[in-house]
Structure 1
Amino acid sequence: MENYLPPLNNHNLPYPDTIHPIVVHFVIAMVLFAVLCDIIGYFTKNSRLFEVSWWNMTIATVSIFIAIVFGQIEAGLANPYIAAVSDLNTHTIIGWALSGIIATITGWRYVIRLRTPDTLPTSYLGAGLVLTAIVCFQIYLGDKLVWIYGLHSESVVEATRQGIL
């Protein structure tokens, strides 16, 4: 079966570099900008910002599933060493949970948009702040996997291939 798969490069990937961070940074930006637009729109009574927020959350909802697909592929090819496994597993679980949370909040936002497009309930703003906190923790874990554990960096891949890690 391995004869039919593309060879892995120095990053232990079948393509030039990691794709997950590119897509996930897009999702992060969309979610954080949506929450910011909701907060500013709530306090300034500018309902046009609610429309901006809605579209950002909608695109983030679709994009997070693309990020998860590449994240799963790249996590499977990472060959994490023992120290990184716990954080990688936590990052994976929170990523899947975030896909459901973001989709649920976007669905809730859709209902709000239909019923009262010019206002937002404070409970929705609170959910946005909780979502922001979860996203920030997920960013911390992702950064740790790259900058502390060095997953998919050439030196760590080489050390893993040689059995050093």
Structure 2
Amino acid sequence: MNALELHNTLNLNDSNLPYPDPMHPIVVHFVIAMVFMAFFCDVVGYFFNQRHLHEVSFWNLFVATGAIFVAILFGQFEAGLATPYPAAQPVLNVHTIIGWSLGGILALITGWRFVIRYRNPLKVPPSYLGAATFLISIVSLQVFLGTQLVWEYGLHVKPVVEAMNKGIIK
């Protein structure tokens, strides 16, 4: 089945989606903001001994952990509808692998953060801040790849979808 037949069968819009706008970026930006906010709060809380910032950090991570799996599910669904052309496929594959990995890494770090919070809510160890820095680095790479998929390869961008449906891009 080619892109045009798929488009007509699933009743997709001009962005190759069954709903008005891509949901993955909406949910994933929420996750990104919460992870960065958690990191910021823990670093500032560490250096200025602010317990309330550690509490904000924990709850940001907790909610982000649930939301990342929603983002992954929307990402998988929307990637399947994107019918990426060969040039975009390697970037999409790496983005997908890192996305699923991030779900697990974020869940592990949040679990560790829960244990830290339970044992001593007043401070976080430097080793945790190192792991959080690693998390921020992976999230930043993932942001770069997602941006590349939209701005360079045009996934779910109307002119690219139209070109694919007309067979101009294969």
**Alignment partners' CA distance in 1, 2:141 and 2:38:** 18
Question: Matched residue pairs, number?
Answer: 162
Answer yes or no: is 1:115 the counterpart of 2:119. Answer: yes
1:6: how far off? 4.6
**Where does residue 79 of structure 1 map in the other structure?**
83
1:47: how far off? 1.0
Answer yes or no: is 1:33 the counterpart of 2:33. Answer: no
1:119: how far off? 1.2
**Per-residue Cα deviation, 1:116-153 (whole angstroms, up to 9, x for no partner):** 11111100000010101100000000000000001001
Q: Structure 2 matches for 1:72-151, cutoff 5 A? A: 72-151=76-155
Normalization by structure 1: what TM-score? 0.96
Q: Structure 2 matches for 1:149-160, cutoff 5 A? A: 149-160=153-164
Secondary structure of residue in 2 paired with 1:82: coil
**Alignment partners' CA distance in 2, 1:119 and 1:68:** 31
- The residue identity in structure 2 corresponding to 1:15 is Y
**Per-residue Cα deviation, 1:97-133 (whole angstroms, up to 9, x for no partner):** 0000000000000000111111111000000101011
Structure 2: 5+ residue stretches without partners:
1-5
Normalization by structure 2: what TM-score? 0.93
1:46: how far off? 0.5
- The residue identity in structure 2 corresponding to 1:49 is L
Secondary structure of residue in 2 paired with 1:8: coil
Structure 1: 5+ residue stretches without partners:
none
**Alignment partners' CA distance in 2, 1:131 and 1:70:** 21
**Alignment partners' CA distance in 2, 1:94 and 1:164:** 30
1:163: how far off? 1.3
**Where does residue 61 of structure 1 map in the other structure?**
65
Q: Root-mean-square deviation (CA), in Å?
A: 1.0
- The residue identity in structure 1 corresponding to 2:46 is Y
- The residue identity in structure 2 corresponding to 1:63 is A
Closer/same/farther in 2, CA of residues 161 and 6 from structure 1, 3 Å limit:
closer
Moved over 3 A (4+): none
**Alignment partners' CA distance in 2, 1:15 and 1:67:** 16
